[in-house]
Amino acid sequence: MRYLVQQKLLSWGDDFTIQDDDGNDIFFVDGKAFSVGNKLSFQDMQGNELAFIRQKLMAWSPTYEISRGNEILATIKKELFTFFSSKFEVDVPGPNDYHVEGNMLEYEYTFTRPRGGVVAQVSKKWFSFSDRYGIDVVDGEDDVLVLAAAVVIDQVCHERQR
């Protein structure tokens, strides 16, 4: 399924709205404005929290945890020493880790599994507006996890632009 991610420019925290392919708002990411480290609540449009994103402060590289309730869904780490592109590892419990690589600054990157191929494509080419990008998630994947990971990558790679 294809999603449209748009950061809300006039907000107290780093807030995002996520729409489906038909332009309907389906998710909202509420950035906590006055917190130590980045904390974001990934919600449906009724305000039900589907995932919580928390920055780990005592880490060598930018590191975030995505949780659902008391369960950690994934830990996301940016690889520090890459030369021509940014790389992130999304450590999911079990064998379903994601490797994310591409040009994060231009919103052109891919989520892959070591043995499973492409999981999602992120691209800004589909949209002409500067604060929007698309995410195409393969059927059968955990869409909320992939979208939350993309929001983390946005936070890490575009933090200075905010």
Give the model confidence (pLDDT) of 7-57 as tens digits.
765 444 578 899 998 989 999 998 876 566 788 999 999 999 999 999 988
Phi, psi of 152 (to 5 degrees): -60, -45
pLDDT at residue 11, rounded to an integer? 44
Tell whether pTM > 0.95: no
Q: Is 135 or 158 the better-scoring residue by pLDDT?
A: 135
pLDDT surpasses 80 at 159: no
Spatial CA neighbour of 87 closest among 72, 95, 98: 98
- For residue 121, the domain's CATH number is 2.40.160.200
pLDDT surpasses 80 at 126: no
**Structural domains in the chain (count):** 1
- Residue range(s) defining the domain that contains residue 77: 2-161
> Which residues does residue 51 pair with via DSSP β-bridges, in sequence order?
42
